[in-house]
Amino acid sequence: MMLAEKSDDILKFVRGQFPTLASEWVFMDNAGGSVPLARVIERTARYMTECPVQLGASYEVSALAQQRLDTAMDALATFTNAREPAEIISGPSTSSLISRLSRAMASRLVEGDEIIVTNVDHEANISPWLRLQSQGITVNTWKLNLESMRLELDDLADLMTERTRLVCFTHASNVLGNIEPVAEITRFVHEHGADVCVDGVAYAPHHEIDVQAWDVDYYVFSLYKVYGPHQAVMVGKRNKLEALENINHCFFKPDDVPAKFQPGGMNYEESYASGAVPEYYSELGALAGAAAGAGDRERIVAAAGWMSRHEEDIVTPLLEFLDAREGVRIIGSPSPFSSVRTPTVSFVLEKHDSASIPPLTDRHKIAIRWGHFYAPRLIEYLGLAGQNGVVRASLVHYNSRDEVMQLIRVLDEIL
């Protein structure tokens, strides 16, 4: 079979997994939230129908509920390459999980300790750390280099001191689309005696997650942007998690992870449904070229590889169109290469307020968006707040080249 034909067959399989895609709308606001897999919807209903009970009881239905949740956490550990399922902490959102991490870390910090944040991140990885200033913690800002449009290590080096305890940064900007070298940054930070907290939300839908290869201390991402339910995951090194304060009930011990970070427990049905995401990746990986007999992790890696190649293919014409259009400026790299950027494309127009564009694509049932996307510090730094931020079209692997060409035709008419 020709490569293009095989890719078409894979995309047909992919789109068949998402019932929402059967609608007349073209969904290109995926960085705000992807549409869910059919199996995620089915598992949510199945759990709530068959075992909507508390865990830890002796009766059979409670044991079934526990078994289903354990299976899902095992799958997420494989999906992220965590060392063990206990390193997987579930929560309703990345914002919530990083806030919990900040609370758990607060008592371990003393006046004069330093934390570094960026002016590129989603507010989820900034505000929780700024709140620690009230107890005497110094928070410094690692700023985007406006020439390279990247976070440069030389600029970080100028901020690092012997009192730096934590560096918080994004894996990929949800505005710029640029991918930062997480392993390199983490190695540099560790050499200076500090830990890292990485917001992987804008990266996770497009590439494999490998927390062990990157050696990150805390890695957080939202499953509702990775084709799952409205849940999020924080992967933390177990020794780091055990050293943090318990923010749950008083009877939890230091080694009770992840429970001590999940006050009120977890959302059972959504946590169970989350296990459908790795299952989907595994099936996709088998179609996308994983070796016969490959394990789940290998198939997940193969699926992520196909996703990034497909996304690179479909984002190329959009970037080329915008880059060639007079009066349009891409905010971020114009390169389509998946090693450089995600297919999250932000742009501004000289003669148009950003808020004026999406309503015009709405008429054609193409869903894109405008705004600061919870990264107001970046938008202000780039001087774009006065025009209502950027216009953003964010693609994922279930989008097709035909859909991208529809968007280009509509934008061509508008512009």
Tens digit of pLDDT at every position of the chain (415 positions) = 445 668 899 999 999 999 999 999 999 999 999 999 999 999 999 999 999 999 999 999 999 999 999 999 999 999 999 999 999 999 999 999 999 999 999 999 999 999 999 999 999 999 999 999 999 999 999 999 999 999 999 999 999 999 999 999 999 999 999 999 999 999 999 999 999 999 999 999 999 999 999 999 999 999 999 999 999 999 999 999 999 999 999 999 999 999 999 999 999 999 999 999 999 999 999 999 999 999 999 999 999 999 999 999 999 999 999 999 999 999 999 999 999 999 999 999 998 999 999 999 999 999 999 999 999 999 999 999 999 999 999 999 999 999 999 999 999 998 8
Contact 236, 256 (CB under 8 A): no
| Topology adopted by domain 3-37+296-414 | Aspartate Aminotransferase, domain 1 (3.90.1150)
d(CA 236, CA 70): 18
Residues of the chain with CATH 3.40.640.10: 42-278
Residues of the chain with CATH 3.90.1150.10: 3-37+296-414
Alpha-carbon distances, residue 366 vs 14, 361, 378 (angstroms)? 20, 5, 26
Write the DSSP symbol of residue 150. B
**Residue 307, H or E segment:** helix 296-324
Residues 6 or more apart from 382 whose CB is under 8 A from it? 331
Token pair listed for 204? 């996770």
Residues 6 or more apart from 293 whose CB is under 8 A from it? none
| Topology adopted by domain 42-278 | Aspartate Aminotransferase; domain 2 (3.40.640)
Token pair listed for 185? 């940054």
Burial 241-274 (b: 16+ CB within 10 A, else e): beebebbbeeebeeebbbbbbbeeebbbbbbbbb
SS3 (DSSP) at 117: strand
Give the pTM.
0.97
